[in-house]
């Protein structure tokens, strides 16, 4: 059994590196963040605010000052990260070297690729609001000639919007993505958002005008039937069925109580997606 002593103090105010939706409260947590997200980090990590936080919140004035000086100089990201890891002594030398190797290996990736990877990581963690903002910032800085990457970012925007139930707007982004990349996955997601945002009658009319979508649509309906069956047998599906039975039995007080608690839970879950 090994014991690792903490360096510095536990911060009252957390620091959110790289706008990743995660706050750290001590130097050791910062090191763990670096290890887990090494492939996503770029020069934006080296900001004055990090050095100030290390000095003021963690009580590590010497390290904080060195970080602030380094952020104003033309130091490499590898050197900056090494300074933090070596000061903390949180990982072994071997692990520190593995982290630095990842930093160097990913230095060949463009800043646009790194920022997209960071937004993609936010999507996987369920931070759709943050991911959408990251994609939006990236679209503003992305050169026009980067058409394929732009299309992939549009697809990511579509995913975020669909997860937040903005199906109509999500569909517009999926269609933009398909136009730029030609990827069938983006077109299929466009069909899904169309199916979920209009009535069945409107969707049939849409298919009449877009015969090229018919084959994909047939497969989609089969998947939809399967998903509906899975939903009915899921914990949430059975819970809603129980709530509905309270209403049918005219136990209105119980029905209202259970429905209110469920709605409050879903509101909280939705707020977390937006954060």
Q: Are 46 and 77 in contact (CB under 8 A)?
A: yes
Asked if residue 45 lies in contact with residue 80, where contact means CB atoms within 8 angstroms, the answer is yes
- Model confidence over 42-54: pLDDT tens digits? 888 999 999 999 9
Determine the pLDDT at residue 214: 85
What local confidence, expressed as pLDDT, does residue 218 receive?
87
Burial string for 197-212 (b: 16+ CB within 10 Å, else e) reads: bbeeeebeeebeeeee
**Interval 29-45 mean pLDDT:** 89
- What's the fold here for domain 111-197? 1.25.40
Q: Which pLDDT belongs to residue 245?
A: 82
Share of the chain above pLDDT 70, in %: 97
Query: Where are the chain's structural domains?
Result: 17-108, 111-197, 235-274
pLDDT at position 57 is 95
Query: What Cα–Cα distance (Å) separates residue 171 from each residue in 69, 155, 191, 194?
Result: 46, 9, 8, 6
* pLDDT above 80 (res 13): yes
Local confidence band at 3 (pLDDT 50, 70, 90 cut-offs): very low
**CA nearest to 157, candidates 169, 140, 144, 145:** 169
pLDDT of 275: 59
Compute the average pLDDT of residues 27-47. 90
How do residues 135-157 score in pLDDT, each as one tens digit?
999 999 999 899 999 999 999 99
Q: What is the pLDDT of residue 127?
A: 87
* Pairwise pLDDT comparison (12 vs 2), residue with the higher score: 12
Are 127 and 156 a contacting pair, CB within 8 Å?
no
Query: pLDDT class for 121, splitting at 50, 70, 90?
Result: confident
CA distance linking residue 157 with residue 133, whole number of Å: 9
Question: Bigger pLDDT: 110 or 166?
Answer: 166
């Amino acid at each position: 059994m090994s014991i690792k002593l903490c360096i510095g103090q536990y911060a009252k105010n957390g620091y959110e590196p790289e706008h990743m939706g995660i706050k750290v409260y001590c130097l050791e947590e910062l090191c763990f963040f670096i290890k887990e997200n090494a492939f996503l980090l770029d020069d934006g990590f080296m900001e004055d605010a990090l050095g100030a936080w290390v000095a003021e919140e963690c009580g590590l004035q010497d390290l904080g000052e060195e970080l602030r000086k380094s952020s104003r100089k033309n130091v490499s990201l590898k050197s900056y990260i090494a300074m933090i890891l070596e000061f903390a002594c949180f990982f072994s030398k071997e692990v520190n070297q593995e982290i630095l190797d990842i930093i160097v290996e990913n230095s060949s990736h463009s800043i646009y690729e790194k920022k997209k990877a960071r937004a993609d990581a936010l999507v996987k963690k369920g931070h759709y609001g943050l991911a959408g903002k990251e994609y939006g910032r990236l679209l503003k800085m992305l050169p026009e000639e980067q058409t394929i990457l732009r299309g992939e970012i549009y697809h990511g925007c579509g995913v975020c919007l669909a997860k937040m139930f903005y199906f109509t707007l999500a569909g517009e982004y999926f269609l933009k993505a398909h136009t730029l990349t030609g990827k069938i996955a983006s077109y299929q997601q466009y069909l899904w958002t169309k199916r979920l945002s209009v009535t069945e009658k409107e969707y049939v009319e849409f298919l009449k005008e877009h015969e090229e979508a018919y084959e994909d649509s047939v497969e989609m309906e089969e998947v939809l039937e399967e998903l509906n069956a899975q939903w009915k047998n899921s914990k949430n599906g059975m819970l809603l069925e129980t709530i509905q039975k309270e209403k049918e039995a005219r136990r209105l007080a119980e029905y209202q109580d259970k429905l209110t608690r469920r709605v409050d839970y879903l509101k909280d879950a939705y707020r977390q997606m937006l954060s």
